[in-house]
Amino acid sequence: MTTSHQKGKALEMAVYALESAILRQLPGYNENTFHIAGNKIISIGGVHHEIDIWVNVDRGSGYSANFIFECKNRAVKVNKNDIVVFGEKIRATQAQIGFLVARSFTRDAEAQASTEPRIQLLRVRELPVDEVPVPIQRFHGIAEVEGSRQSECRVICGSEQGSLTGVDLGTAHFTIDGEEQDLGAYLKDWINEEISKRQKTFRSESVAEGVYPLAFDASRVFSDREVAVNHDHVAQMALSGKLEMRVVHGTIVSRFDVATRGRIFQCLVQFPNGASVTMHQWAVLPK
């Protein structure tokens, strides 16, 4: 976060995520009882108002309530004029409560807010890295490197051993207990199952960023006449293969503590060439 705009957006995103988490955990609330929106523009009497975060709650009783949030992530203290402008937004939106989230407030701002019963001031601080839980500091993404997967399946038919590499998986006659199956789909499911097992034992949280080879192998033994490929009864299949996994460490893009509301952490995982970009969020609410 290098510009004031980026800093402001980071706090808005964090508060949006935090308030969403608060609403979801409230008894009797679900996605159908509230609506939350960011950067909402409303026009009252030809005057446009930009609302950082707008929340509408409607539990079906015939009454609905609006709440708004203003986020100011800046070193300069919020002043009296900021409070006056925010009070106008509250009246324009007919909000029950307006929350102004900022690092600090001048004495005049606090005095002005005290004259507005629908304004609540919330102090926010950016948490130092040592206050970020270790699991979040170690958060990362893993993904299979495209085109790196290789596999081979060998079969034993009676006493003879061969390979399925020369078999056309699309046309091969493959049966299990006399029922015809898709050999290609069977092998794909088996390979995916073994890769999943191998990935679960890969201690990716303890390695540096980079590409790592993973090997896998497995075998299946079949009873007499249970499995056949092209009418040859298969006694055993042995699967082996390898692939590469890319590990990308996450970047903590925000770590805020909002007074009385909770803590919110946001981590970005971005793979090379923009192949995948994912924002992960953790909310820690007051007990």
pLDDT in tens, the chain (287 residues): 568 888 899 999 999 999 999 988 887 777 678 889 999 998 888 888 899 999 998 877 777 899 999 999 999 999 999 999 999 999 999 999 999 999 999 999 999 999 999 999 999 999 999 999 999 999 999 999 999 999 998 888 866 677 776 678 888 899 999 899 999 999 999 999 999 999 999 999 889 999 999 999 999 999 877 899 888 888 899 999 999 999 999 999 899 999 999 999 999 999 987 777 888 999 999 87
Into which CATH architecture does domain 4-128 fall?
3-Layer(aba) Sandwich (3.40)
- Looking at residue 58, its pLDDT comes to 85
What whole-number distance in Å separates Cα of residue 67 and Cα of residue 55?
A: 5
What whole-number distance in Å separates Cα of residue 203 and Cα of residue 25?
A: 33
What whole-number distance in Å separates Cα of residue 69 and Cα of residue 90?
A: 9
Burial of 128 (0-12, 13-18, 19+ CB in 10 A): exposed
Q: Which DSSP category does 167 fall into?
A: S
Contact 234, 222 (CB under 8 A): yes
pTM equals: 0.76
Two structure tokens written together for 153: 């399946």
Dihedral through CA 26, CA 30, CA 32, CA 34, nearest 10?
30
- Looking at residue 113, its pLDDT comes to 97
- Looking at residue 50, its pLDDT comes to 92
Where do the structural domains in the chain lie, given as residue ranges? 4-128, 140-249
The pair phi, psi for residue 186, each rounded to 5°, is: -60, -45
Measure CA of the first residue to CA of the last residue in the chain; give whole Å: 31
The pair phi, psi for residue 118, each rounded to 5°, is: -95, 5
Pick the closest to residue 245 from 138, 146, 145 (CA basis).
145
